[in-house]
Structure 1
C-alpha cells in the first residue's frame, strides 16, 4: 500500500512538472527534428548491449557527438523543448560524469525542460537529484570529494523549490549531516539529521545518530 501511494505521488509530481514545462519548439523545427531522429537512431545501437558496453559507446561516441550541440544550444540563449540537451544530461549521469551533467542540468531545470517520453514517472529535477545522491554516497564511501556538486544541487533544490518527493529532500539532509559529522561540525550535523527525520520520519533512519550527537552535545 505504501509503495502504491509513493508511486502515485511520484506520478503527480511528474505530471505537475510536465504541466509547467517549456512548450516552445525550435524555430527551425525541421532541422532540429532531423537532429532528434539522428540521436534516436544512435540510441537504438545501445539496445542489447551489456551495461559496460553501453557506457563505452556513450563515452566514446555519443557524448562527444552530442555534448557540443547541447552546449551550443545553451550558449545561444535560446529556450525551447530540447530533447537532445536532456538526453545528453542522462547519458552523462549514466556514465558517472556528474560535474559535467550538472553544468547542463541547472540551466535545463531553469528552462523546465521535460524528460523524454520513456520516463513516465520521473521528472527532470527528481532524476538529477537521485543521480547526485547516488554519486555522493559512492564518493563518500571512497573518501572522495562531493563538492561543489552536492551542495550546489542541495541549495538549488531548496531555493528553487524543485518538484521532488519529500524523501529525496530528506536524503539530501542526511548526506549533508554525514558530511558535517565527518568534518566535526556536530551542531550542523544534528540539525540536518533532525530535519531529515522531520521530513521523512519512517525512512530517514537517523535516530541513532541524533541520540549520539545529543549526548556529545549534552542535549
Structure 2
C-alpha cells in the first residue's frame, strides 16, 4: 500500500470509529496500534489523554491532536419510547433533524435510530415559523414504549453518534464525520513516521476538546 493509500485508510478507520467527548476509548485503541511501533513509552493519564514518547538527543518536539468528536447523549426516554437527548459539543440544531444515529449501549454494542420531531402537518402556523431546537426533537429507534427501549440496552447517559462513514467525492476528495480532528491525528501519526532526526518526540492525543479543551488543560 502506497503512502497516500495508507493515509486514506487510516483516516477512514479513525473517522468511521466512534468517540464523542468523554467516550474516546475506541479512537485511543486505534491510535495506540499505530504509534506503538514508533515510540518507547505509552501512557494514558487519569482523564484519558494518550501520551506516547520517543527518546532522542536532538530537538524536543510535541505533536498533539484531540481524539474526540462532537456528538449527542441520551437524556431520558418517554413513555412512547422516544429518546430525548442533549448536544455534546457545538452543533447547529437545525442540521440534526432527520439524521441517522448510532447509540452506543456497551462495548461494541450499538442501537440504530433516526432523529425526528413533531411533523409539520400537526404543527400550528406559529410552530412552523420557528426553527426547531434540540428540545423539540427525539431519537426514534422503532420502539413503542420506554420498556421496549430499555430492553435493547438503551438508557440515560449513553453516547450518540451520527451514522455516517467516509465516502469519496469528485477527484480525490472525501467527506465524513469527525474530520475535526481525526485528520489532525492522521497528520501527527504520519509526522511521527517521517521524522528521521534523533529528536525526542512526544505524541499527545487529547480528550474532551469539544467540550472545553478539558484534556489539554
TM category, shorter: under 0.3
TM-score normalised over the length of structure 2: 0.19
Larger radius of gyration: 2
TM-score normalised over the length of structure 1: 0.19
More strand by share: 2
